Amino acid sequence: MANTYLSSSFHIIFVLTGFFLIKFVDFYLGSSILFLYILLAWLFRRTGFDNISKDVIVSPKSGRVLSIKSGYSHHLIGDDLLEVEVGYNFIGGYGLYFPCCGEVCDFYDEHGNKKILVLFQSDDGYKIGISIRKNIFGFYPRIWLSVGDRGSCGANFGYFPFGGKILLYIPKDFDVAVDIGSRLCGGKSIIAVIAGAKD
């Protein structure tokens, strides 16, 4: 079975329908259904993760860096944070990934279901936050986490149907390793490193 976020019944129904249409109805209609299946399976594909150092923060999703702000204060995370905004990437995969090695501290529903905040605590004791907003199609992310769950840096914890913008809040002890406009691969691209750990 293809390694995607889609259910196994989705795969079975699409493939059987496509082959049935090719064999008994119309070759072009069946081929179109199979092409649509391949496109959807590719868009909702899962990617593996590499074993990444504890001294880094990786991108929690694929996309492009839209802005980087320093000296940001968040009422739930703390003061003097770095805020990195990662934008849409419709074809780069929809997965959401642990930004660091550590555990989930808390979930917050901010502003009445308009934003979800997931707080992570790294193994080194740093708090890292991800604020996820509803996307332009009205979808929220599908997250498979509970408070206390642990994960490796880059481990998959959910997906965001058709993408969306996220805000990543990073402690001031980290140096940003990306620029505005940088393209990121979720769970793999390094966004920040602990100050002094670059050497």
For residue 70, the domain's CATH number is 2.70.70.10
The residue range of the domain holding 35 is 8-43
Q: Do 169 and 74 belong together in one domain?
A: yes
Q: Do 74 and 164 belong together in one domain?
A: yes
Biggest alpha carbon–alpha carbon distance for the chain:
65
For the chain, the C-alpha Rg in angstroms (whole number) is 19
Tell whether 199 is covered by a domain: no
d(C-alpha 141, C-alpha 133), whole Å: 9
Tell whether 157 is covered by a domain: yes
Condensed to tens digits (0 to 9), the pLDDT of residues 5-14 reads 677 788 888 8
Full-model pTM:
0.72
Indicate the residue type of 128.
I
Q: Do 120 and 37 belong together in one domain?
A: no
Q: Do 27 and 108 belong together in one domain?
A: no
Tell whether 3 is covered by a domain: no
Check pLDDT > 70 for residue 51: no
Check pLDDT > 80 for residue 60: yes
Under the banding of pLDDT at 50, 70 and 90, the label for residue 164 is confident
Q: Do 63 and 36 belong together in one domain?
A: no
Q: Do 186 and 125 belong together in one domain?
A: yes
Q: Do 22 and 114 belong together in one domain?
A: no
Q: Do 161 and 96 belong together in one domain?
A: yes
Q: Do 78 and 33 belong together in one domain?
A: no
pLDDT recorded at residue 169: 93
pLDDT recorded at residue 74: 82
Q: Which two tokens stand for residue 137?
A: 């199609």
Q: Do 80 and 38 belong together in one domain?
A: no
Q: Which two tokens stand for residue 108?
A: 């917050």
Under the banding of pLDDT at 50, 70 and 90, the label for residue 199 is very low
Indicate the number of domains in the chain. 2
Return the exposure string of 119-158: e unless at least 16 CB atoms fall within 10 Å of the residue's CB, then b: bbbbeeebbbbbbbbebeeeebbebebeeeeebbbbebbb
Helix axes 27-43, 8-20, angle to 10 degrees: 160
Closest CA to 191 of 170, 164, 172, 173: 170
Q: Do 18 and 71 belong together in one domain?
A: no
d(C-alpha 185, C-alpha 173), whole Å: 23
Check pLDDT > 80 for residue 172: yes
